[in-house]
Amino acid sequence: SSVFNEVVGRLARRLAIIYDITLDTQVLHYASLAVAPTKSDTLGAYVLPASTLNDFLSSRDMVLDMTSSTTKTLNFLLYVPAPDNSPLLLLDAHGQTLNPAAFMVEGYGGVYVMDKIDEGALLPDGGAYLGPKELRKPMASFVGQIRKLLGLAGARDYAHTCVGSVADPKSGAVEWELRLLEREMARFRVRSARATLQSLQALVDSIPVMVVTDAIASTVANAIDHVRASEQAWSEGNFSAATILATQAVEASEAAFFDPSMESLLYFPDDHKLAVYIPYFVPVLVPVLIAVLRELKASTKKDKAKLD
């Protein structure tokens, strides 16, 4: 836990302006794999081919804590094979050994397999103690996976720019990568805030009876101000401020769009009102209408009698 927070935490702190990252650790004992590894006499080890890596995780045994349904959770799993499946090697699509034994699972996160454990870390009972020395390499692999998942420039294909970079070993990201990511995220979030505000306007226009409270109007005005301020900061090259303002614009626009008073009218249209109230009023209106028609007929007969 301490090594994870030290190594990965440095990168998380560097990205604090762009992403709100919370780190947590969990230990699972005696978790089995979804696909059993096979013994390779050629390699003298147990292997898992590339075709099985997406099914590496067992949903029955590897139940990891999730924060909430409204936040994106990325899981980075360090797997220590059982003694009867060790050493465990991962193979790529061409049958070559992956080095390091790490891979990414789309929509989940990353996995690192401890294929070999130093003899000094082995315990007499067959277990192992993984100290800071043993965990440095897996944590560095997780930093690389996080860089790819969060879109740091050095982790993507920028060959056409003739620019190469090596991640800062102390923080996991160099300054120009952060500035470029801030620039892209500020632009993306401003566009997202504008789209949400336009959707809110279309929603209000489509439901004439929708009442926009002063609180919602104030939130919308706040979102618009943050959008304009973010665009101004972006044009001045202050991408850190632009990212912060764009994030606030997204939060304000979504708070207005998903306000409970708006949602109640959204899911209670006029057709629904008619379906609810007609069964109540029709039984009352029919006798009243019949009585009115009778009175009109009676009044007409009286007028005719007077004329005669």
| Pairing mode, strands 109-113 and 102-105 | antiparallel
Given a cut of 90, is residue 235 above it in pLDDT?
yes
pLDDT band for 159, please (50, 70, 90 cuts). Answer: very low
SS3 of 98, please? coil
Angle between helices 175-206 and 239-257 (to 10 degrees): 30
Q: Which pLDDT score is estimated for 176?
A: 85
Q: Which of 204, 51, 62, 44 is nearest to 115 (CA)?
A: 44
Tell me the residue type at 178: L
pLDDT band for 219, please (50, 70, 90 cuts). Answer: very high
pLDDT band for 293, please (50, 70, 90 cuts). Answer: confident
Q: Which of 26-35, 92-101, 170-179, 241-250 has the highest mean pLDDT?
A: 241-250
Average pLDDT over residues 215-231: 95
Distance CA 71, CA 65 (A): 13
Task: List 88's β-bridge partners, or say none.
Answer: 46
Q: Which pLDDT score is estimated for 246?
A: 95
Given a cut of 60, is residue 124 above it in pLDDT?
no
Q: Which pLDDT score is estimated for 154?
A: 56
Task: List 110's β-bridge partners, or say none.
Answer: 76, 104
- This prediction has a pTM of 0.70
Average confidence score pLDDT of the chain: 80
pLDDT band for 253, please (50, 70, 90 cuts). Answer: very high
What would the pLDDT profile of 66-90 be if each residue is shown by its tens digit? 554 457 888 888 888 877 887 888 8
Q: Which pLDDT score is estimated for 307?
A: 65
Give the phi and the psi of residue 110 in degrees, each rounded to 5: -140, 160
Q: How far from 221 is each of 72, 140, 194, 199, 212, CA to CA, in Å?
A: 28, 44, 12, 15, 13
